Amino acid sequence: MLKNVNHYYHKTIIYTVLMLMALPILATLVYSFSTKWGATILPDGFTFKWYIDLFGDFRFWSAFLRSAIVSVGALALGLVLLIPIILLACHSAPILLKYLNYIILIPFAIPPVVSSVGLLQIYSDSALNISGTAYILIGTYFTIIIPFIYRSITNSLSAVNVHDLVDAARLLGSSTFKAFILVVLPNIKKGILTAVFISLSVLLGEFVFANILVGTQYETLQVYLYSKRVASGHFTSALVITYFAFIFLFTVIASYIGTKNELRSSKKSV
């Protein structure tokens, strides 16, 4: 009896917290469809005008495309550079993991404003003038997602025995490189997908670096949102809801791929 009471009590607390967290998003959603919402409890009317204006704005699609380019570029750079380093460290030099655990904290230790000012001073007067371009943003975004990629990959590797997998593959005639590609990587696919979608969610919402380093020279989605702050609140609400919809779509895709891979692995094991 007491166990059932505790169960319902915990579920009530969880659902209450979820409702409180969803309430601002729900209010923003209703506001984005309202014609006017003043002193009354409910809006005066509903319309699709704000979404039509948003999706018909060429600046919005350009900003979204630029955000996607720099986010995917930084993510690809991070995966290509970090995955081999993490695999080699786990397999051949585990002592390096101790130092990597400290290195990944550096992006959190330096405030974004300080990093932005330093980068502007370095690249504005140098021969490699990349200020105001997508290249400086890709390099900066790469440093932001290092902790997320590292933690996701190492957590997945902790669930598998890298040494046994590589040794078994080598006994069957495979090289170490092929063992990493064909054996280890498929076993940490969920960790890679987690790193991908967490990183994309973080980068699509990044504002400080984008605003200071490139601004309107390479307008990203968050800079576009900032430029529209003086516009109608209904329009900005529609933009925020659209942004949440993209993030939700990424989450659903990641969940679907992860579930599909688990079902495929369970069928193979059977």
Number of domains in the chain: 2
Domain span at residue 151?
58-269
Residue 46, strand partner residues: 34
Residues β-bridged to residue 69: none
Is 111 inside any structural domain? yes
Q: On the CB side of 17, how many CA atoms lie within 13 Å of its CA?
A: 6
A 10 A CB-CB count for 4 gives 8
Same-domain pairing of 85 and 25:
no
22 and 63 inside one domain: no
3, pLDDT greater than 60: no
Q: What is the rounded average pLDDT for all residues in the chain?
A: 81
Within a domain: 89: yes
DSSP state of 229: T
Both 133 and 239 in a single domain? yes
* 191 is a domain residue: yes
pLDDT (tens digit, 9 = 90+) per residue, 20-79? 888 888 888 888 888 877 777 777 788 888 888 888 889 889 988 999 899 999 999 999
Question: Token pair for residue 246?
Answer: 């993209």
Q: Residue 206 and residue 67: Cα distance in Å, rounded? A: 9
More confident: 157 or 70: 70
Asked if 189 and 65 sit in the same domain, the reply is: yes
Q: Which of the listed residues 10, 28, 47 is the one where a domain comes to its end? A: 47
Same domain flag for 114 and 179:
yes
Residues 14 and 103 in one domain: no
- Residue 166 parent element (H or E): helix 162-171
The enclosing H or E element of 1 equals none
Residues 2 and 62 in one domain: no
CA 32 to CA 128: how far, in whole Å?
44
DSSP string across 12-23: HHHHHHHHHHHH
Q: Are 64 and 21 part of one and the same domain?
A: no
Q: Cα-flanking dihedrals φ and ψ of residue 44, to 5°?
A: -70, -30
pLDDT number for residue 74: 92
- The model's pLDDT over 225-258, given as tens digits with 9 standing for 90+, comes to 888 877 778 888 888 888 888 878 877 776 776 6
Q: What CATH number did the domain enclosing 240 receive?
A: 1.10.3720.10
Residue closest to 71 by CA, chosen among 190, 209, 188, 224: 209
- 106 and 147 together in one domain: yes
Residue 20 lies in a domain: yes
53 part of a folded domain? no
85 & 114 share domain: yes
Pair 73, 16 in one domain: no
Residues 137 and 190 in one domain: yes
List the one residue out of 207, 66, 251, 81 whose CA is nearest residue 149.
81
Residue 15 falls within a domain, yes or no?
A: yes
- The model's pTM is 0.79
Q: Is residue 52 part of a domain?
A: no
- CA–CA separation, 71 vs 8, rounded Å? 42
Give pLDDT, residue 269.
Answer: 46
CA dist., res. 114 & res. 209, Å (int): 10
